[in-house]
Amino acid sequence: MLKSAIVKKLNFQIGQMLMVGVGSYELTRAELKICQSYNFGGFILFSRNCCDPTQIHFLCRSLSTSTGNLPFIAIDAEGGSVHRLPMPFTHFPAAALVGKTGNPDLAFRVGRAVAAELTLLGINLNFAPVLDVNSNAENPIIGDRAFGATPDQVAAMALPWSEGLSSSGIIPCGKHFPGHGNTDTDSHLDLPLVAKSLTALHAVELQPFLHACRSRIPALMTAHVVFPAFEEEFPATLSSRIVTGVLRQELGYEGVVFSDDMEMKAITGHFDAEQAAVSAVRAGINVLLYCHDLTKAAGIVELLCREARHDSQLRARIEESTARIDKLK
């Protein structure tokens, strides 16, 4: 049996490995109680959380004091169609428009401008830039969110954009590893599959991520996409072969790895939700996103606590994850 002090530490560590969403413009009493009980490591904001500058700033302050450790406060601020903040905040152009200029200095300045507005609100992490290559014209979910249709174009523009974020104090998180650009399915709605060879994946999808790893981007997000060349059974988020084997070992990545939203249909429509959470942690995911159902996130913390108490390998994964999280924070 693990001693009570170790169990208490383990529970706190697991809470730090979850990023959650809340329902509206301010924390309800019920939400605050759950956040205080489970010590979530981060929060993600959506349009439903953003009314005006004063309200957003107050919500961010409330979130930052709702847990026992400094939380990540994140948003998807890509520009273009993925834009959460209301007027008077700037609606920045889509990545594809920035990419078409071929001007890395402009990309840097756009990233810096995005960061300047996020910093004012108390946000500290942006789930951007998109490092996917827009190589499939029928892709329903990436399109102009990508900086270009070739890996060189994406790397040349996305990385300066990312550095612009960092220069103004925002943590960039590149997505969606190992690449969502060639899918013909929206992973919010179903489980996509990319049936490309290893050679083709390394030549196109992996190239921007390789450059990002070499540039030491501090965070990456995985894709809920199956790549049979790597792993036939599981999407990247649940695959040790992809997260640990390819990203950590082959590409040498040392930063924090976030999952995409674990409540998306690519996961919930094909896998048991609880088992998926355990599989993701075993695969090497450091932070799990639960963007909609706070009680579900609390249940996942309890599940992982139960599993980890009698599984030393899972505990080792948790120790590794919390060390990476603490270093980034």
User: Torsion angle, CA of 235/239/241/242, rounded to 10 degrees?
Assistant: 60
In angstroms, what CA-CA distances link 201 with 19, 67, 287, 297?
Answer: 29, 40, 25, 33
| pLDDT tens track for 131-176 | 999 999 889 999 999 999 999 999 999 999 999 999 999 999 999 9
Q: Catalytic residue numbers?
A: 188, 260
C-alpha triplet 204, 209, 212: angle, nearest 5°: 135
- Which residues of the chain register pLDDT less than 70? 1, 3
| pLDDT tens track for 318-328 | 999 999 999 99
The 3-state DSSP composition of the chain as helix, strand, coil percent (nearest 5) reads 50, 15, 35
212 contacts 220 by C-beta, under 8 angstroms: yes
Residue 105's CB is within 10 A of a number of other CB atoms, namely: 10
Determine whether 193 is exposed, middle or buried from the number of CB atoms within 10 Å of its CB (0-12, 13-18, 19+).
middle
**Can you spell out the DSSP letters for 91-102?**
-PPPHHHHHHHT
Q: Which of 271, 166, 144 is nearest to 215 (CA)?
A: 166
Residue 58's CB is within 10 A of a number of other CB atoms, namely: 16
Residue 59: both structure tokens together = 């919500």
C-alpha triplet 236, 242, 243: angle, nearest 5°: 85
Q: Which residue has the tokens 């309800």?
A: 28
pLDDT at 86: 96
